[in-house]
Amino acid sequence: MIDVNSPTFWPELIQVVLVGLGQTLYMVGFALLFTIIIGLPLGILLVGTERGGLFERLFGSTRVGRVIHTVLEFVVNLGRSVPFIILMIAVIPFTRFVVGTFIGSTAAIVPLALVAIPFFARMVEIGIKEVDPGLTEAAHSLGATRWQIVTKILVPEALPSMFLGLATTITSIINFSAMVGTVAGGGLGDVAFRYGYQRFSTIHIVVVVIVIFVIVMILQAVLTYFAKRFARNSFDEKGGRASRRLAADTLTGGI
């Protein structure tokens, strides 16, 4: 039991929470980085390899495109449907292979990225599917390459919805990072677990909840700001914006 009235209580709490915060930001930051680096191309490939997509004929063969699409669909669906706690345990051999250990904040990045990548890939897919096919068509008529179409048309036009998708993705990474903490990953979840649950300090739980809440609020605000900033056609005629927000909300609610 922790003595709330002890003079060292608050300094210790602050110390513990700051360390936890640092670990959380470290885990979430790197997991997010890998999520974007891997999830973005994955999402683009997911849409592109669809029938009639930009990469339908990958390496000059329809078969290659079809196979890649099927594999990606399977992997993304699998990644999205396996409960995190099971995924976390299931990837331990892989984590050990990559990081050398499965304990600690660095090791926690692996399952966090693995759970977020398929999620973000779907968000990217949704965003890119909402880009008016007429734009791709116009780019083709100008003689653009597929790479130019991806970098100059699809990604910039889907940017607002990808930022909203990113906001949702971060929220879920933070969410899962708390769970990782209980399995020796450290971070705010670990603080709440060790002090709040094992040592019955309600104040620790309350402070952790507030800190996480503030982080999520700040990130949401920043990313929504970017989403708006890149959405030059706010409230376009086709209602694309509205449906996009709806999709994001639905997914947020699902976490």
Partner 1 sequence: MISISSVSKSFGAGERRTVALDNVSLEVARGEMFGVVGQSGAGKSTLIRTVNLLERPDSGTITVDGVNLTALRAQELRIARQGIGMIFQHFNLLSSRTVQGNVELALEVIGRDPRERKRRAAEILDLVGLTAKAGSYPAQLSGGQKQRVGIARALAANPSVLLSDEATSALDPETTRSILELLRTINTELGLTVLLITHEMDVVKTVCDSAALLEGGRILEHGKLVELISTPGSRLARDLFPLGAVTVRPGTTVIDITFSGGNADRPVIAQLARDHSLDISILGAAIETIAGNQAGRTRLELPGTAQAHSAIISDLRAQGLLVEVVGGEAA
Which residues are at the interface with partner 1 (CB under 8 A)? 132, 134-135, 137-145, 148, 152-153, 156-157, 159, 230-234, 236
Helix ranges (H only) for the chain are 9-48, 62-81, 84-90, 92-99, 105-129, 133-141, 146-148, 155-180, 188-191, 202-230, 240-253
Map residue 221 onto helix, strand or coil: helix
- 169: closest CA among 48, 50, 80, 62? 80
For partner 1, give the closer residue by CB, 232 or 253.
232
Of 73 and 137, the one with the shorter C-beta distance to partner 1 is 137
- Which of residues 194 and 245 has its CB atom nearest to partner 1 in the complex? 245
**In the complex with partner 1, which residue's Cβ is closer, 99 or 159?**
159
Half-sphere exposure of 210 (CA within 13 A, CB side): 9
- Closest to partner 1 by CB, 148 vs 250, is 148
- Report the nearest approach of partner 1 to the CB of residue 46 (Å): 21
Amino acid (1-letter code) at residue 186: G
* Rounded Cα–Cα distance for residues 48 and 125 (Å): 9
Question: Considering the complex, what minimum distance in angstroms separates the CB of residue 243 from partner 1?
Answer: 15
Half-sphere exposure of 74 (CA within 13 A, CB side): 6
Q: How far is the CB of 206 from partner 1 (least distance, A)?
A: 43
Q: Which is nearer to partner 1, 93 or 133 (CB)?
A: 133
For the bound state, the minimum distance from the C-beta of residue 220 to partner 1, rounded and expressed in Å, comes to 22
- Report, in Å, the least distance between residue 148 CB and partner 1: 6
Q: What is the CA radius of gyration of the chain?
A: 21
**What three-state secondary structure class fits 61?**
strand
Least distance to partner 1 from the beta carbon of 152, Å? 6
